[in-house]
Amino acid sequence: MAASISRVSGSEVSEDPLDSYSATVIRVAEAVTQHVAALEMTGNGRNGRLRVGAGSAVLFTSDGYLLTNAHVVGGAQSGHAVFADGTSTAVDVVGADPLSDLAVVHGRAPTAAPAEMGDAESLRVGQLVIAVGNPLGLAGSVTAGVVSGLGRSIPVWSGRSRRVIEDVIQTDAALNPGSSGGALADARGRIVGINTAVAGVGLGLAVPINATSRRIIASLLKDGRVRRAYLGLVNTPIQLQPSAVVRTGRREGLLVVEVLPGSPAERAGLRAGDILLKVGQMYVSNAESLQKLLFAEAIGEPLELAVLRDGSDLRLVAVPAEMTDNQ
């Protein structure tokens, strides 16, 4: 498409909207790239050190703590981070939380200034986002796209175990395996998500930076782990039908897409197609609202579930188990 040109005071000014789009992406890329490192995790093998994981990481504190994905660090305890300007540091794993797919590592040497962290709660579908990472070993790679979905939950395989990562951001910004752990930024250069490619190449997903993930990060920094309650269901937000709105007084709920076999959700009687309205005393309308209820204090405690099933109101009781490495 040809650019539209107008003359102002004898000079030519481009009115091509792509110029504004490009300027935004360039500005964010320049601001964010310096805070994103290529990360290589290593372990001991029969013939010495070997690589056990690789991806990206985002520097989020001034004293060298970096945020990445749990599946990037795997079972490693140490590794190496290299920034876009060529500076590098050895890193040690502080902690990892497979359920959120977040992990924290700490650099041993001085690093760059930290990135500005944002809040994914401000995101809207259709909003511009920019992904910065280290896909396939190409440091400082940048892709741009829009938010195409919010509040998703996705089932993933971790070894032989199946997990559900809650409340992910879906974007059409292209991601590749090396992008995992990299930054998803808004148009102001604030980090609103940590990219994860565990669901497959070409599907852009990111763990949001919000109140729940900040709580997870704080637990990793303090204790090196997050004790989590586990229900075992895959869900997505849904708008209720008008008749259900009138009957329940609620406009939104969580559609149960899948119930994992042998899970507390299955034992409680939840089924795919159910709509979850309330857990305990709290209404739920997105993955984060459910996730907030599933920290350590919920383990082993009965939770009443208010459910819509085929137009009928049900009350079920689930007893969350503690999340283990085998779940």
Catalytic residue among 97, 101, 167, 186: 101
Joined tokens for residue 233: 């269901």
For 24: left if phi > 0, alpha if psi spans -120 to 50, otherwise beta; the answer is alpha
Give residues with Cβ within 8 angstroms of 242, minimum separation 6: none
Alpha carbon of 108 to those of 51, 195, 204, 319: distances in Å? 19, 24, 31, 42
Catalytic residue among 56, 141, 179, 180: 180
Q: Where are the alpha helices (DSSP H) in 34-124?
A: 70-73
| Burial class, 316, CB count within 10 angstroms (exposed 0-12 / middle 13-18 / buried 19+) | middle
Concerning whether 101 is annotated as a catalytic residue, the answer is: yes
Cβ distance 320 to 294 under 8 Å?
Answer: yes
Q: Determine the Cα–Cα distance for residues 56 and 196; give it in Å rounded to an integer.
A: 10
Q: Which residues of 112-125 are buried (b: 16+ CB within 10 A; e: fewer)?
A: bebbebbebeebee
* 153 membership: H or E segment, kind and range: strand 141-158
Joined tokens for residue 225: 């782990």
| Burial class, 182, CB count within 10 angstroms (exposed 0-12 / middle 13-18 / buried 19+) | buried
Give the residue among 244, 229, 208 at the shortest CA–CA distance from 290.
229
Owner of token pair 């920290």: 295
Concerning whether 180 is annotated as a catalytic residue, the answer is: yes
Concerning whether 219 is annotated as a catalytic residue, the answer is: no
Catalytic residue among 71, 158, 167, 219: 71
Q: Determine the Cα–Cα distance for residues 254 and 275; give it in Å rounded to an integer.
A: 5
Residue numbers annotated as active site: 71, 101, 180
